[in-house]
Structure 1
């Protein structure tokens, strides 16, 4: 049942961006159309072109929202570590807990990686996300170690999301410990 038109809707643009991520999670980037996004956001189709210059812009901004949201949780977890041992445990948490690597976030990340491989503006979103992750890790680890840990976190998170027998916490902790001088 259609809803009544909104005259004052200051959250419309943000709602559209959240809806984009919902549509991508359900249909993939290839299935993200103006119509589908507008319907998911419960906005008139014209709102899409009013708020965004085109589909590439809305996808870039939505993926930026995803990256910023996940980066904030990542940074928060690492910032809570007060000792080197707590920092190592934070890295393990980032790999094995669903605090940031929820199934939905992982699915959206796969879509972002694939889309960024063919779309230079999205590549910049990925690079910025990696830099935020590495900066959070550099609070506790040397720059080279932070770079390796960032790749480990992403790689093991991807594997854990699809592996029928993912590494358990103790195994992940042992791998992390081997990487830290």
Structure 2
């Protein structure tokens, strides 16, 4: 039996299904089989499919927020160079890996565009990335970091999405350096 409560196993299974086959593949039967729980457990824990999708995204957000907050705080008040910041960005992206569970949020972000019930969870996830970015930009002395951060987060997310779509790794740190350092 897989470790964790039935609810935790269900949420991990939802992310796995989404990451491998997309949101459309999330059915109660499929999730129950993958989570090794009864079909009744699905409806007991999640009255609707939207509840299940939202809670899966929120679970990802919670874990990601904790990870990014810890990382941001470890860099607060440190002297960072732009190269250090770019390397840190590369580390954050590299830590994500490309497992199905890490691909699932991209699918869920798209689904949030279709389903308003998922939008707050998606917003919370982007807020965690923005917080880390603002912390790094503040350490670099970038003026108006809070207005620049969403653009940098969107750039990194776009490069990640491009990598997913093409299979070609993107040099994210080089892209960040080009954005932050004016050309000579």
Unaligned runs of 5+ in 1: 4-8
| Residue-by-residue CA offset, 1:100-124 (whole Å, 9 max, x unaligned) | 2525355312211221111001111
Larger RCO (alpha carbons 8 Å, 6+ apart): 2
Q: CA deviation at 1:34?
A: 0.6
Contact residue 50 and residue 118 of structure 2 kept, 8 A: no
**Deviations 1:63-89 (CA, angstroms, capped at 9, x unpaired):** 111222233333333333322223343
Name the CA shift for 1:101/1:155 in 2 (closer, same or farther; >3 Å): farther
Asked if 2 retains the 8 angstrom alpha-carbon contact of 1:12 and 1:43, the reply is yes
Asked whether 1:143 is paired with 2:146, we answer yes
User: More helix per residue: 1 or 2?
Assistant: 2
Give distance in 1, aligned partners of 2:88 and 2:15: 27
Residues 39/89 of structure 1: CA separation in 2 closer, same or farther (3 Å cut): same
Please, which runs of 5 or more residues in structure 2 have no aligned partner? 138-144
| Aligned: 1:127 with 2:123 | yes
Aligned Cα root-mean-square deviation (Å): 2.6
Matches of 2:69 and 2:178 in 1, distance apart?
21
Q: Size of the alignment, in residue pairs?
A: 170
TM-score w.r.t. the length of structure 1 is 0.79
Q: Does the 8 Å contact 1:78/1:90 carry over to 2?
A: no
Q: Is the 8 A contact 1:89 1:173 kept in 2?
A: no
Q: 1:53 is paired with a residue of what secondary structure?
A: coil
TM-score (norm 2): 0.78
Distance in 2 separating the partners of 1:94 and 1:32: 28
Q: Who is 2:109 aligned against?
A: 113
Instruction: Describe the shift of the 1:167–1:58 C-alpha distance in structure 2 as closer, same or farther (beyond 3 A).
Output: closer
